[in-house]
Amino acid sequence: MFPFVFALVLAQNSPQQFGDLLIQTAYEFKAQPEQSNFRAWVAEVKTASGAVTQIISIVETDLTKLENKPTPQLICDLHDRANRTRQGFSGQLFKTELTEINGLPMVVLVGSALTRDVAQRPINTYHVSAALSTESKAYEITWLTYNGGDDYTNAIKAVRSVQLKSDSITHTPKALVGTVGPYTLLGAPFKFLLNKPASANTEVRPSDGQTGRYIGSISEPGWYATAEIALYSDNPSQITAESLLTALGYQEWLKSEPKPIAKLIDGIHVFENVKVSDKRHARIDIATQGKFICAVIVSADSDKPLPDRKTIALLP
């Protein structure tokens, strides 16, 4: 872990250059002690009271000094794997998307994870990172923010639009990566189609028979959704749509009238338009494979439409 420094907001939000990499950021970075084959720059952003709100790091690796030079695609794959298994974090529900910069692969990760604050309390962390390379250098940018809203929006904009300088030419990504798409948790057998990263619930705990439980939520003006995962030590005995829903604690919803009936769509049990109260309705996607039960549940006021499954869904 790098030592962090207090980040000063620059007078103007102009691109800053780190080696051949340019990134649009309003914060001042401090160079870390150089190592034999890499160098790094780090900023820690704090409030006036001293609370950390953002941590940003940029690492440049000199590929010419490595005994076994990784391919550009392997650099992207290693970045993805490292961030999904990062020590001190859990529940990394990330969307991984590839693009190109100067003809070489570039990967961008967006999502959220659970970590702990200085008092060892679990907190949600929003994540955006990228890995890219030239023939001789590899760059990794990791931007963590404990706040959503503008902080995270600006982080995504900065990371997804980094530039590379080559001689007198500045190269930009072939495509700008957004937040809509399939999010995955390493090991979980299903994908969560979301419009943006979920906020991980810090209070959820496994129930009887479960060895792990995850709930991430998305709140929009017209609807509310959760991405849910339950992990068991053995393959769960629940096999019907109703028993799967009961295992996640939603058995009361099965008592509503008209009685909810699930349709099987590409291996996913889908309950359409379930009445969950006099004032609210929901759609439930739920499935099981191996030791996992996964679900996406979206609800809205009864007089409001639910987003369709092209926007929010559980996918095989």
- The answer to whether the 15-171 and 181-315 domains have the same CATH topology is yes
Tell me the C-alpha distance between 244 and 295, whole Å: 9
Query: Counting every residue, how long is the chain?
Result: 316
Question: Strand, helix or coil at 149?
Answer: helix
> What average pLDDT does range 268-285 have in this prediction?
96
**CATH number given to 181-315:** 3.40.1000
Structure token digits, residue 170: 């500045």
Residue 105: what residue type? P
Other residues' Cβ atoms within 10 Å of the Cβ of residue 119? 6
* Nearest residue to 158 via CA among 20, 16, 294, 19: 16
Give the 3-state secondary structure percentages of the chain, helix then strand then coil, rounded to 5: 15, 50, 40
Q: Please name the amino acid found at residue 179.
A: T
State the greatest distance between any 2 C-alpha atoms of the chain, in Å, as a whole number: 68
pLDDT of residue 235: 87
Least confident of 12-21, 247-256, 304-313: 12-21
* pLDDT, tens digit, 9 for 90 and up, residues 146-198: 988 999 999 999 999 999 998 889 999 999 999 999 999 999 999 999 999 99
Tokens of 253: 């919803």
Answer CATH for 15-171 from 3.40.1000, 2.70.98, 1.10.3470, 2.40.360: 3.40.1000
**What sign does the dihedral 33-74-20-107 (CA atoms) show?**
negative
Task: Please give the model's pTM, rounded to 2 decimal places.
Answer: 0.92
Averaged pLDDT, 231-246: 90
Domains of the chain, by residue range, sit at 15-171, 181-315
pLDDT band at 288 (very low <50, low <70, confident <90, very high): very high
Cα separation, 168 vs 151, in Å, equals 32
The pLDDT value recorded for residue 1 is: 33
Q: In whole numbers, what is the pLDDT of the chain averaged over residues?
A: 93
pLDDT score recorded for residue 13: 56
Determine the average pLDDT of the residues in 24-33: 93
How do residues 68-110 score in pLDDT, each as one tens digit? Answer: 999 999 999 999 999 999 999 999 999 999 999 999 999 999 9
pLDDT for position 121: 92
Contact 45, 54 (CB under 8 A): yes
